[in-house]
Amino acid sequence: MLTNRRNFLATSSAAVLAANLSIPARATAPFAGAVIPVYRHRVGDIEITAIADGYLDLDRQAFFPQVDRGDSDRLLEANFQPTGKAIRVSVNAFLVNTGERLILIDSGTIPGFAPSLAKLPARLQAAGVSPDQIDTVLMTHLHPDHIGALLGPDGKPRFAKAEFILADAEWKFWSDEGIASRAPKDFQPMFAAAQSAGRSYEKVARYLTKNGEVVKGIESVGLPGHTPGHTGYLISSGKDSLLIWGDVVHATALQFTHPEWSIAFDTDQSQAASTRRAIFDRAAADRLPVAGMHLDFPSFGHVIREGADYRFTPAIWRLDE
């Protein structure tokens, strides 16, 4: 009986198998494409969400004028990256939930730059956050790849209930009509965009004049050079901390080995390079975790000192709830 039952099971399994074999063994589901690039990370009791606004392909020679082509080819190859003309650069923003405040740090790129950018509003929504829930917007600086979502399609503040916080030196620079009028013609649209975003939030703006606590759990860290008021934000909770350093690095594969290579967008290239070296030193010495707007998404990691150079070690994704 038992034998028969076994035989029966074996026979019916074989029948099922045979039936399945008549179905073509080919996947017919369409490719799903990229996952929604939103990644959550804890710093003590604070939840940080990295959100990819997209990416930008930058011409290496044009945007990194000091870069030695051979040396950069070697570094890209060593990092398993293509050695073509362009280098791919992530554009990230961060959502910080301290339990008391829901903070957005930077807001991605203004629409119209490239089809691969300006995804922040949609991805914020995918992350389950509506613009009205954000009560604080912290700016690292006012470049067009950071101010993108500040204004809605109607030209009004998208984050209508938020306090707007940035360095005083940053706003003074971009809102100075004299500086704006003397800037090269190519840079004029950058001033216009920064002014229109900044003016729209002027009534709810707080301008930082020194390093220190901005809101509970977050300190500002001046990192001048990329722009005059370029600012990082140090997030701390319990024994954990994280420095979101804005635009200290644009090319992850190149600038840890060559901190002296600045991007053409750096307002003061040599100051940007010395700021980069100083913050690399601090992060390496203090084993301080960092994240950045242009480090490869999701960008969390550590800086390691290697002789006179540095290296970046991306953090392993943490899956704890």
State which residue, 247 or 266, has the beta carbon closest to Zn ion: 247
DSSP for residue 262:
-
State which residue, 91 or 214, has the beta carbon closest to Zn ion: 91
Q: Give the number of other CB atoms < 10 A from CB of residue 121.
A: 18
Interface region with Zn ion, contact rule CB under 5 A, candidates 63-71, 106-114, 159-167, 244-252? 244-252
| Footprint on residues 288-307 left by Zn ion (CB under 5 A) | none
Q: Give the number of other CB atoms < 10 A from CB of residue 96.
A: 23
Confirm if 177 and 223 have CB atoms less than 8 A apart.
no
Confirm if 95 and 37 have CB atoms less than 8 A apart.
no
Confirm if 293 and 146 have CB atoms less than 8 A apart.
yes
Applying CB under 5 A, what is the total number of residues that bind Zn ion?
3
How far is residue 140 from each of residues 130, 167, 228, 230, 316, measured CA to CA in Å? 22, 8, 11, 5, 25
Task: Give dist(CA 108, CA 197) in Å, integer.
Answer: 13
State which residue, 145 or 266, has the beta carbon closest to Zn ion: 145
Tell the smallest beta-carbon distance from residue 263 to Zn ion (Å).
Answer: 9
Interface region with Zn ion, contact rule CB under 5 A, candidates 5-13, 108-116, 212-220, 245-253? 245-253
Strand, helix or coil for residue 44:
coil
Tell the smallest beta-carbon distance from residue 28 to Zn ion (Å).
Answer: 42
State which residue, 38 or 89, has the beta carbon closest to Zn ion: 89
State which residue, 43 or 110, has the beta carbon closest to Zn ion: 110
State which residue, 92 or 136, has the beta carbon closest to Zn ion: 92
Tell the smallest beta-carbon distance from residue 226 to Zn ion (Å).
Answer: 8
From the list 145, 163, 266, 296, which residue makes contact with Zn ion (rule: CB under 5 A)? 145
Asked whether position 163 contacts Zn ion by CB under 5 A, the answer is: no
Q: In the chain, at which residue ranges do the beta strands (DSSP E only) sit?
A: 38-43, 46-59, 86-97, 102-105, 136-138, 163-167, 205-208, 212-215, 218-222, 231-237, 240-244, 290-291, 301-306, 309-314
Tell the smallest beta-carbon distance from residue 145 to Zn ion (Å).
Answer: 4
Confirm if 246 and 224 have CB atoms less than 8 A apart.
no
Interface region with Zn ion, contact rule CB under 5 A, candidates 3-11, 143-151, 177-185, 193-201? 143-151
Tell the smallest beta-carbon distance from residue 31 to Zn ion (Å).
Answer: 30
Asked whether position 106 contacts Zn ion by CB under 5 A, the answer is: no
Q: Give the number of other CB atoms < 10 A from CB of residue 214.
A: 20
State which residue, 98 or 245, has the beta carbon closest to Zn ion: 245
The DSSP line for 198-229 is HHHTGGGEEEE-SSEEEETTEEEEE-TTSSTT
Interface region with Zn ion, contact rule CB under 5 A, candidates 37-45, 139-147, 253-261, 307-315? 139-147
Asked whether position 247 contacts Zn ion by CB under 5 A, the answer is: yes
Tell me the residue type at 214. V
> Residue holding tokens 């509003």?
121
Tell the smallest beta-carbon distance from residue 240 to Zn ion (Å).
Answer: 26
Confirm if 244 and 232 have CB atoms less than 8 A apart.
yes
State which residue, 46 or 244, has the beta carbon closest to Zn ion: 244
Mode of pairing for the β-strands spanning 38-43 and 46-59: antiparallel
Tell the smallest beta-carbon distance from residue 38 to Zn ion (Å).
Answer: 19
State which residue, 123 or 143, has the beta carbon closest to Zn ion: 143
Confirm if 104 and 50 have CB atoms less than 8 A apart.
no
Strand, helix or coil for residue 307:
coil
Interface region with Zn ion, contact rule CB under 5 A, candidates 126-134, 200-208, 240-248, 304-312? 240-248
| Footprint on residues 13-42 left by Zn ion (CB under 5 A) | none
Q: Which residues bind Zn ion (CB under 5 A)?
A: 143, 145, 247
